[in-house]
């Protein structure tokens, strides 16, 4: 049967189980949109290609499955770059399909031509420039296989317009791609891991987003309880262990719990799972847990010994390795280690201000946690609000905290929330943002309104690029420059202009009640909260310093 290349792409996506995709059409990908018109796939029209990429990320991060976004050539493809790079650093499975000028025009500076292949080479797990229509039968499934195999990541497929339009007779469709199986870990390594844990007096699990990606949270908790091993998390690992689990130490690192950083420094064994020893978590790497042996388990062999030498490096699937390790681990109450930690660990990881202070972001975030169901998916943008969310919010489940960790991309929160809401239409989604971040992808309010999604946006407005202002205050002689907004838009009025209900807490007689009411309402809603403009998020490790050199450790908010 005859199909053109665009029809083949859509049919191959359907065979991969894709039901919904995100993008913006343009001249170089219109054949794909013509094929999409005749398909059963649902298309969400984003208002910016970066928004489309982050919407796809929201779906992928909240489900663990590959999501698809699309863009045309030239500016369409370049607008996707930030979302692609973000997915690469946070190991998000995503396939981006971009249109390209016709193959004979490549290299001629044709209208809307850019070297998408070259631009995306360093920010993808793999990329393809399709040179023949028949290649699509191999390239599309291969893109999905690569995106979801091993350490997940983004894959770009760049398809010239003439390749999309050219027809061919398809006799047999390829099987849908599956993730490639991971090599099984040698039994002797499992035994050595068990021996190191049994010999340790002060072990700590140090976990990251890889634990969530591997669906290993449950077996991790079983193992931690059996041997009474405390657990600390990176920003990306929050939700793997409930915030109130007796063994959970909270987040470590730059804006983590000061006591957690001290406990880490006293550990004699660090069991690092699905982490990459990121500088925001470790501080000065040479001084991170200098007296501890390290077991580093990661699916990506390039991460082992990359930044911190491991006593035992283990490459493989975290869930499979922990599942095999569990029966080899003895029950141990570790009373001495528990006693040492009890002397350090506060009853609450972060002190909160008085509940009446509705101008303090930590109060608002704490109340959000009180008012919404525990399976609510939280997205954030990047800045002080992101750290305030990570600190007191009561995360209980994996894949309920979606944030830009590695790239730290402002503008992530709203489109990611849209993707999560499309994947989980029956769950509450809350996007916590700052005034600076929210302006980065404000246009996706139109996408939200058009699809009437169950998303509450909470803007914590301090009139600044908060983390920039904080560092200028602390480390640049209080030279506040280009980080204060002298003009602040009326966010509530803007939301209403897009057709989204809005509440301004500053105008409410009872701001706490107004917050609860707005969060309980189904459908899209924006909640504007004016917060103190000069607050710093503490504790904080100065850039380049050791985690033990935190400032504000006794004044957590």
Indicate the Cα dihedral angle 266, 267, 268, 273, nearest 10°.
-150
What length is written for the chain? 557
Rounded to whole angstroms, what are the CA distances from 474 to 46, 169, 446, 534, 549?
39, 66, 38, 12, 14
* Residue 65: how many other CB atoms lie within 10 Å: 16
d(CA 75, CA 77): 5
Sheet holding 501-504, edge to edge: 401-402, 377-380, 429-434, 455-461, 525-530, 501-504
d(CA 44, CA 540): 40
**Residue tagged 């989604």 (tokens):** 429
- Cis, peptide link before residue 539, omega less than 30° from 0: yes
Confidence of residue 346 (pLDDT cuts 50, 70, 90): low
Report the run of H or E that residue 270 belongs to, with start and end.
Answer: strand 269-273
Confidence of residue 183 (pLDDT cuts 50, 70, 90): confident
Q: CA end-to-end span of the chain, whole Å? A: 65
Rounded mean pLDDT, 51-76: 98
Confidence of residue 351 (pLDDT cuts 50, 70, 90): low
Phi-psi map region of 517: left, alpha, beta (phi>0 left; psi -120 to 50 alpha): alpha
Rounded mean pLDDT, 296-310: 96
Out of 57-66, 181-190, 440-449, least confident range = 181-190
- Collapse the DSSP code of 524 into the 3-class scheme (helix H, G, I; strand E, B; otherwise coil) and give the result: coil
- Collapse the DSSP code of 22 into the 3-class scheme (helix H, G, I; strand E, B; otherwise coil) and give the result: strand
Per residue in 390-418, pLDDT (tens digit) is 998 999 999 999 999 999 999 999 999 99
Q: Return the pLDDT at 348.
A: 45
Residues 466 and 440 sit within 8 Å (Cβ to Cβ): no
Interacting residues of 295 by C-beta distance below 8 A, sequence separation 6+: 193, 196, 269, 270, 271, 272, 310, 311, 312, 314
Helices (H), 501-542: 511-520
Phi-psi map region of 536: left, alpha, beta (phi>0 left; psi -120 to 50 alpha): beta
Strands (E), 135-244: 154-160, 167-169, 203-207, 231-233
Rounded to whole angstroms, what are the CA distances from 456 to 362, 364, 429, 430, 433?
17, 13, 6, 5, 11
Confidence of residue 553 (pLDDT cuts 50, 70, 90): low
Rounded mean pLDDT, 299-321: 96
Q: Return the pLDDT at 343.
A: 85
Interacting residues of 246 by C-beta distance below 8 A, sequence separation 6+: none
Mean pLDDT of the chain: 95
- Collapse the DSSP code of 179 into the 3-class scheme (helix H, G, I; strand E, B; otherwise coil) and give the result: coil
Interacting residues of 327 by C-beta distance below 8 A, sequence separation 6+: none
d(CA 371, CA 169): 57
Q: Return the pLDDT at 354.
A: 60
Domains and CATH numbers, the chain: 2-169 (3.40.50.970), 187-344 (3.40.50.1220), 361-549 (3.40.50.970)
How is 415-449 classified by DSSP, letter by letter? Answer: HHHHHHHHH-TTS-EEEEEEHHHHGGGGGGHHHHH
d(CA 159, CA 131): 8
Phi-psi map region of 552: left, alpha, beta (phi>0 left; psi -120 to 50 alpha): left
Q: Return the pLDDT at 352.
A: 61
Report the candidate in 192, 216, 202, 190 with the shortest Cα–Cα distance to residue 332.
Answer: 202
Confidence of residue 427 (pLDDT cuts 50, 70, 90): very high
Per residue in 110-142, pLDDT (tens digit) is 999 999 999 999 999 999 999 999 999 999 999
Label residue 416 exposed, middle or buried (CB < 10 Å: 0-12, 13-18, 19+). Answer: buried
Report the candidate in 470, 478, 435 with the shortest Cα–Cα distance to residue 543.
Answer: 470
Percent of the chain beyond pLDDT 90? Answer: 95
Does this model's pTM top 0.85?
yes
């Amino acid at each position: 049967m005859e199909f053109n290349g665009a029809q083949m792409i859509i049919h191959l996506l359907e065979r991969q189980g894709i039901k919904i995709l995100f993008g913006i059409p343009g001249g170089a990908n219109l054949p794909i949109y013509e094929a999409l018109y005749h398909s059963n796939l649902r298309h969400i029209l984003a208002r910016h290609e970066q928004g489309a990429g982050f919407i796809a990320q929201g779906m992928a991060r909240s489900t663990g499955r590959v999501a698809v976004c699309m863009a045309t050539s030239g500016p369409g493809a370049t607008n996707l770059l930030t979302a692609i790079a973000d997915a690469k650093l946070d190991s998000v499975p995503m396939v981006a399909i971009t249109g390209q000028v016709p193959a004979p025009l490549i290299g001629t500076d044709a209208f809307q031509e850019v070297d998408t292949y070259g631009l995306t080479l360093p920010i993808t797990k793999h990329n393809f420039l399709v040179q023949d229509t028949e290649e699509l039968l191999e390239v599309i499934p291969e893109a999905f296989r690569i995106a979801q195999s091993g350490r997940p990541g983004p894959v770009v497929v760049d398809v010239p317009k003439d390749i999309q339009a050219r027809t061919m007779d398809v006799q047999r469709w390829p099987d849908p791609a599956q993730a490639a199986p991971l090599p099984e870990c040698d039994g002797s390594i499992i035994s050595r891991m068990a021996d190191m844990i049994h010999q340790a007096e002060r072990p700590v699990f140090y976990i990251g987003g890889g634990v969530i990606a591997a669906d290993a949270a449950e077996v991790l908790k079983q193992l931690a309880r059996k041997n009474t091993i405390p657990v600390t998390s990176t920003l990306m690992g929050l939700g793997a262990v409930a915030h109130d689990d007796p063994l959970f130490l909270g987040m470590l690192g730059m804006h983590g719990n000061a006591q957690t950083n001290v406990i880490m420094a006293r550990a004699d064994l660090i069991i690092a799972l699905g982490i990459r020893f990121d500088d925001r978590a470790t501080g000065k790497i040479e001084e991170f847990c200098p007296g501890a042996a390290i077991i580093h388990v990661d699916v990506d062999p390039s991460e082992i010994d990359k930044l911190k030498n491991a006593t035992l490096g283990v490459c493989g699937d975290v869930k499979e390795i922990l599942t095999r390790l569990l029966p080899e681990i003895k029950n141990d109450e570790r009373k001495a280690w528990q006693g040492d930690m009890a002397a350090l660990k506060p009853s609450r990881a972060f002190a909160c201000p008085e509940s009446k202070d509705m101008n303090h972001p930590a109060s608002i975030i704490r109340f959000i946690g009180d008012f919404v169901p525990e399976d609510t998916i939280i997205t954030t943008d990047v800045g002080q609000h992101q750290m305030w969310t990570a600190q007191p919010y009561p995360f209980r489940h994996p894949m309920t905290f979606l944030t830009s960790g590695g790239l730290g991309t402002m503008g992530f929160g709203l489109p990611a929330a849209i993707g999560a809401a499309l994947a989980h239409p029956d769950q509450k989604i809350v996007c916590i943002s700052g005034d600076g971040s929210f302006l980065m992808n404000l246009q996706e309010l139109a996408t939200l309104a058009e699809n009437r999604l169950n998303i509450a946006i909470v803007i914590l407005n301090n009139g600044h690029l908060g983390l920039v202002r904080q560092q200028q205050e602390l480390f640049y002689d209080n030279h506040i420059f280009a980080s204060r907004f002298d003009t602040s838009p009326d966010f509530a009025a803007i939301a209403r202009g897009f057709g989204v209900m809005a509440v301004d807490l500053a105008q409410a007689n009872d701001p706490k009640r107004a917050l609860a009411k707005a969060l309980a309402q189904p459908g899209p809603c924006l909640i504007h909260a004016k917060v103190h403009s000069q607050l710093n998020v503490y504790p904080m490790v100065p850039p380049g310093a050791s985690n033990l050199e935190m400032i504000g450790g006794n004044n957590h908010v």
